[in-house]
Structure formats: structure tokens, C-alpha cells
Amino acid sequence: MMTDETPAPTDFIREAVEEDLKNGRFDRVHTRFPPEPNGYLHIGHTKAMTIDFGIAQDFGGKCNLRFDDTNPVKEDIEYVDSIKEDIRWLGFDWEDREFYASDYFDVLYAWAVRLVKKGLAYVDDQSPEEVSLNRGTLTEPGKESPYRNRSVEENLDLLERMKAGEFPDGSRVLRAKIDMAHPNLNMRDPVMYRILCEPPHHRTGSKWKIYPMYDWSHGQNDSMEGITHSLCSLEYENHRPLYEWFLDQLDVFRSRQIEFARLNLSYTVLSKRKLLRLVKEGHVHGWDDPRMPTLRGMRRRGYTPEAILEFVHRAGVAKNYSVIDVALLESVVRDDLNKRSPRRMAVLKPLKVVIDNYPDGLVEEMEAVNNPEDERAGTRTVPFSKVLYIEQDDFRESPPPKYYRLYPGNEVRLRYAYLIRCTHVVKDQNGEMTELHVTYDPATRGGDAPDGRKVKSTIHWVSAAHAKEAEIRLYDRLFTKEDPEEGEEGFVACINPDSLTVLTGYVETHLATSQPGERFQFERQGYFCVDPDSSPDKKVFNRTVSLRDTWAKIEKSQPRK
Ligand code: ATP
Ligand code: MG
């Protein structure tokens, strides 16, 4: 885990790129970011983006956006648009270089024909089950297909007819002819094309009845685009020999693949397939649910792009598998919001307070600081009157030891206002507290007593006559286990039943005009962001993160290195 404040100046990928430029393997840097449009981007993709776009930028090179749209069954135009929006939101720019793997289907097909003609690819009539059964295992070599030694003419004819849609799905594949006994299973005659007559592709329509596999598309696309460094996550390390084999046999521009470890977060799943399941099964309210680790979810929750990028930067670029503590993300978000968020007062669980000796009908305007971290943010005034709401938690009828907030007989400070002392509690027939009665000291306006007496606690409040009712959504971690995927039951079994709590609270008048996406610190509560579900009459606030910094505690308890 990286906790160091000073950024690492470089990493193993940047070192490799630098070396390639020095020794002349490449004379420029050109990378690509290759999302598959089968879901929305999540924070893990941010790591890939900071590497792909970041390295291009650092070396004065370019980075293409290339949609890896080779599977019409799972992909959709809806995802393409949202992915572009999310990349822009983070501040990355592909300029005019927006490409699609499907742009290259014709060239790719011609390249496949080239391999067939060289005797390096063949049409296999085995069923998908037979292909996989005959691949062998790590300890046993595979079995050669009975169709492996077809003539070039027959292969060309069959491939053409596969392409024309003459054969049903699953009846044939095109395979590279490499080595069925190769120690790397990816080299045992990997499948290049499979037949998929349906559904139509979101860009090429019904033109194609065969679609390339990842291994037979990605590296070739890299080469066609002149990508120098194809940076991908670690699961492709075993595919690198195949990546290089295709480029060597085709004798085309040789891009270099370098792998890095994926970003993993505790208490989080980061896989589009699994996130899709959460959406489909209704465990969350959509891809942009503020509990989702998607960029849209985080945006709706109130995270800024700056905070997300800072977090990814701090997590670092490593070659080895690791899991980053989600508390680090929360801590970075908190630091970022602390600097930029105006302070407001909001009462989430209201308790009515009546100031018995305050004049009826009087309203005073109290001056409140907008952001102690930012002097330019200035001040505002908040109305004060006889009836207020305070937080239920700020009152105890029988205070536990060291409880310094309000209780009968005790005096506290109302933020930006007066000292008040609790005189008595009013209850209904069921014994439930309905309101609190207090007296105020008119000489303490601003919060200090002229006689110098001290109070141990300052609490926030809103004026009942002026406050606006608001829906408050409190979010907690979506999973109860640090590794949601550990064990037999799977991640759905450890969904936190309390990951969302909805409250009706009261917020100060100024928040009535706030707009979706605006962020605030609710004093003593946490950071909140206005949700798009808000109406002009009733705002909805998402809690981005609470004020408590569990990360700082963890860090403190760790021995210093
Ligand atoms: P997922 O499992 O979430 O579907 P994926 O790898 O299939 O991920 P792609 O759309 O293919 O998703 O990913 C685009 C790029 O982002 C790839 O280069 C991939 O390696 C990278 N990427 C995806 N997830 C992560 C992650 N958690 N950390 C770092 N890079 C990632
Ligand atoms: Mg993928």
C-alpha cells in the first residue's frame, strides 16, 4: 500500500517506454485506451486511462480512443456515448482519434486470408465443446483437429462462406495453426473468428456473420493504428506470445504490449459483468447509483474528477496484484472536498427546540463563514428565530459520561448564534420527546459570554420557520466484506442491507436554490451533493462521504517505515 505523499517520479512502464525511445525501438509514443462498450466505465478504468493518456502526454505522444466492439451480443451504442462522456469528465482528450475495432473488419479479414494462404490458419469444423476439450491442459498437450491439414483452397472457400453467413453459429471457426503441444495454452491453435449470424452489430449492421476474437483483433488494430505501446492489465500477460506471433507472421508494424496490475479496491467489485448483475437484479438503482464504483455513480455521489485522479495516482502503477483500501479513496475525496465545499447547516434527524425567552416574531440574521479553508468564499447570513431544529443526537435526557452537548441544565453554543441552556423536555402520551425547551442569553450573540464562562460544545441548527425540508440519502459501503468475492456465496450474498438510508431533514434557506451536482459540507455531518432527483420544492442530497476520517486513524496506527 502506498501512503507516501510525494508522488513516485516514474514507474516501470515509463521506464520501459523511455528505454524504447533511447535504443531506437520507437521514435515516438502512441498509446490507445480500448474500452469494450459492454458497460459503463468504473474507477478501475481510470487507472488504465491515467496510464494510456498520461504516458502519451508525458512523452509528447498521442492516445487513441478505440472501442473494442467485436461482440455484438453484449455491446450497445448506449455504452459508447456514456463512455465518451465519462472520459471527457475526467479531462482526457482523444482529439479526433475515435476509432472502432469494427472500422478494421475488412482489413482484418484480408490479414486472416493472408495467414490462410501462408498455411498458418485453418477452418475447423469441430464443435465449440470439442475445440475446448481437445485443447489439453497445463500438464497434457492438446489434440490436433482432424480438419487441421485442409488445403489452402478449401480453407479459403470455407472462410468466405462463413463470412457470407452460409453456416450456423458454432458450426465452424477459423483457427491459427501454431502448436497444439505448446506449453502456453493460448498458443494451441487459438480461435480467430467465430460465427455470429445474430444480432446485428451496432455499427456494421448485418454485414458480418463472423466476428474476431480479442486475440485476433486487438494486436492487429494496434498495429494498424501505429500504436507503439499497447498497455493492458495483467490478465493479458499470457497472451503476449500470441500477440507477438500474429504480428511477426503478418510481418506488419510491431506494437509492444506491456502489462500492469489492475486496480482493485476493498469492499468493491470492479468488473462490468458483475456490476451489470447488480443493476439487473435490482440491488442498486442503476449504473449511476451513488453506491456504484462507476464514474457516473461516483459523479452522482459528489466525487470530483480531481479527487478520483489523485486517488489513482496515489495508488500507483505496479506490476503486482494488490488491493487498495477503499478508505484511502474516501480520505482523498474528503481532502479534496474540504478545500472546495461551501459550509452549510443542515439537520438530518430533527429535534424541535423552543427558546422560551426569545421574542415571538423576531428574526435575526447571523453571519456565517462559508469556508474556513478559503477566505475568498466570504460569509452569508442565516436567519435565527424562536423555534429551531437541532440534531437528535445533540441532546440526551440522561447524558452518558463525557457527553458535553445539550442535556437538561447544560449550556451549549449554537453555531454563529447564542449560548442556550436546556430547561425541560416535552413528551407525548407515548413518552416520545416532541420538543425541547431552552433559554438563551442575549448577551452571547456571536457565541461568547461577556463574563468569560465557557461551554464545551457547539452544535448546529436551522430556524424552523425558514428551513427547507429535504431528502437526505446516506450511503454506506455496498458490501460488508473487505473482499466481496471471497468464499463460496459470491458477492451478492454480502451486499450491505444498510448501504442506503433515506432521511427527511431540514436544510438552511440558502440551499433552496442549489443545483444538481453542487457540493456542500453540512457542518459536523459530512460532504453532500445535490442529486438530480431534486425538484424546485424539495432538494435531494447525497452524502458523498462523512467527516470522520477512518483512513487517518488506520494510517496513524501503522508503524512508520
Ligand atoms: P471489466 O472486467 O470491468 O469488464 P475489462 O478489462 O473487460 O474490465 P475493458 O472495457 O475491456 O474492460 O477495459 C478497457 C481497458 O481498461 C483495458 O485496457 C483494461 O485492461 C483496463 N481495465 C479494466 N479494468 C481495470 C482495472 N480494474 N484496473 C486497471 N485497468 C483496468
Ligand atoms: Mg475486456
- 308's CB contacts (< 8 A; 6+ apart) are 43, 46, 90, 295, 298
Centre of ligand 1 to C-alpha 89, Å, is 18
The per-residue pLDDT for 156 is 98
Q: For this structure, is 36 an active site residue?
A: yes
pLDDT in tens, 421-478: 999 999 999 999 999 999 999 999 999 999 999 999 999 999 999 999 999 999 999 9
Q: For this structure, is 62 an active site residue?
A: no
Centre of ligand 2 to C-alpha 230, Å, is 14
Q: Has residue 6 been placed in a domain?
A: no
For the domain that residue 484 is a member of, what is the CATH number?
A: 2.40.240.10
Most distant CA atoms of the chain, gap in Å: 104
Q: Has residue 494 been placed in a domain?
A: yes
> Mean of the per-residue pLDDT values for the chain?
95
Nearest-CA residue for ligand 1 atom 14 is 35
Question: Mean per-residue pLDDT for 392-421?
Answer: 96
Q: Are residues 199 and 250 in the same domain?
A: yes
Q: Are residues 542 and 454 in the same domain?
A: no
Query: b/e per residue, 236-257, with b = 16+ CB within 10 A?
Result: beebbebbebbbebbebebbbb
Q: Has residue 18 been placed in a domain?
A: yes
The per-residue pLDDT for 1 is 42
Q: Are residues 67 and 82 in the same domain?
A: yes
Q: Has residue 5 been placed in a domain?
A: no
Instruction: Copy the grid coordinates of residue 373.
Output: 479553508
pLDDT in tens, 356-395: 999 999 999 999 999 999 999 999 999 999 999 999 999 9
Nearest-CA residue for ligand 1 atom 1 is 271
Q: Are residues 162 and 30 in the same domain?
A: yes
Lowest mean pLDDT among 124-128, 247-251, 554-558: 554-558
Say how far apart CA 220 and CA 114 lie, in whole Å: 13
How many other C-beta atoms can be found within 10 angstroms of the C-beta atom of residue 151? Answer: 10
For the domain that residue 21 is a member of, what is the CATH number?
A: 3.40.50.620
Pick from 225, 254, 259, 229: nearest CA to 17: 229
Residue 216 · residue 190 · CB < 8 Å: yes
Does the pLDDT at position 104 exceed 80?
yes
Q: Are residues 62 and 204 in the same domain?
A: yes
Residue 422 · residue 410 · CB < 8 Å: yes
**To test the ligand 1 pocket, which listed residue (36, 42, 45) has its Cβ within 8 A of the most ligand atoms?**
45
Q: Has residue 69 been placed in a domain?
A: yes
Could you please report the per-residue DSSP string of 93-154? Answer: --TT-EEEGGGGHHHHHHHHHHHHHTT-EEEE-S-HHHHHHTT--SSS-----TTTT--HHH
Q: Return the ∠ at Cα 444 (arms to 442 and 446), rounded to 5°.
A: 120
Centre of ligand 2 to C-alpha 350, Å, is 48
The per-residue pLDDT for 487 is 84
Q: Has residue 350 been placed in a domain?
A: yes
Burial class from Cβ neighbours inside 10 Å (0-12, 13-18, 19+) for residue 353 reads buried
Q: Is 275 in the pocket of ligand 1 (CB under 6 A)?
A: no
pLDDT in tens, 252-309: 999 999 999 999 999 999 999 999 999 999 999 999 999 999 999 999 999 999 999 9
Q: Which of 231, 260, 289 is the last residue of a domain?
A: 260
**To test the ligand 1 pocket, which listed residue (68, 233, 239, 279) has its Cβ within 8 A of the most ligand atoms?**
233
pLDDT in tens, 511-558: 999 999 999 999 999 999 999 999 999 999 999 999 976 666 776 776
Q: Are residues 82 and 188 in the same domain?
A: yes
Q: Are residues 476 and 548 in the same domain?
A: yes
CA dist 127 to 73, 88, 123, 191, 397, Å? 20, 43, 12, 12, 75
The per-residue pLDDT for 165 is 97
Q: Are residues 39 and 80 in the same domain?
A: yes
- 2's CB contacts (< 8 A; 6+ apart) are 8, 314, 315, 316
Does the pLDDT at position 2 exceed 50?
no
Dihedral sign (CA 202, 125, 222, 295): positive
Q: Which of 260, 280, 315 is the last residue of a domain?
A: 260
Q: For this structure, is 262 an active site residue?
A: yes
Q: Are residues 104 and 250 in the same domain?
A: yes
Q: Which domain holds residue 440?
A: 345-466
Q: Which of 172, 262, 344, 539 is catalytic?
A: 262
Q: Which of 32, 203, 272, 301 is catalytic?
A: 272
In 3-state terms the chain splits into helix, strand, coil percentages (rounded to 5) of 30, 25, 45
Q: Has residue 1 been placed in a domain?
A: no
Q: Has residue 284 been placed in a domain?
A: yes
Q: Which of 404, 439, 466 is the last residue of a domain?
A: 466
Q: Is 328 in the pocket of ligand 1 (CB under 6 A)?
A: no
Pick from 89, 474, 485, 88: nearest CA to 270: 485
Q: Is 44 in the pocket of ligand 1 (CB under 6 A)?
A: yes
Say how far apart CA 536 and CA 149 lie, in whole Å: 72
Q: Where are the alpha helices (DSSP H) in 59-99?
A: 77-90
Say how far apart CA 158 and CA 117 lie, in whole Å: 13
Q: Are residues 458 and 472 in the same domain?
A: no
- First-residue to last-residue Cα distance in the chain: 12
Atom of ligand 1 nearest to the CA of 236: 20
Number of domains in the chain: 3
Say how far apart CA 390 and CA 417 lie, in whole Å: 13
Where does the pLDDT of residue 489 fall: very low under 50, low under 70, confident under 90, or very high at 90 and above?
A: confident
Atom of ligand 1 nearest to the CA of 49: 16
Q: Is 48 in the pocket of ligand 1 (CB under 6 A)?
A: yes
Q: Are residues 350 and 329 in the same domain?
A: no
The per-residue pLDDT for 317 is 87
Say how far apart CA 7 and CA 13 lie, in whole Å: 15
Atom of ligand 1 nearest to the CA of 48: 30
Does the pLDDT at position 250 exceed 90?
yes
Q: Are residues 246 and 216 in the same domain?
A: yes
Say how far apart CA 396 and CA 404 lie, in whole Å: 10
The per-residue pLDDT for 122 is 98
Say how far apart CA 49 and CA 33 lie, in whole Å: 6
Q: Is 270 in the pocket of ligand 1 (CB under 6 A)?
A: yes
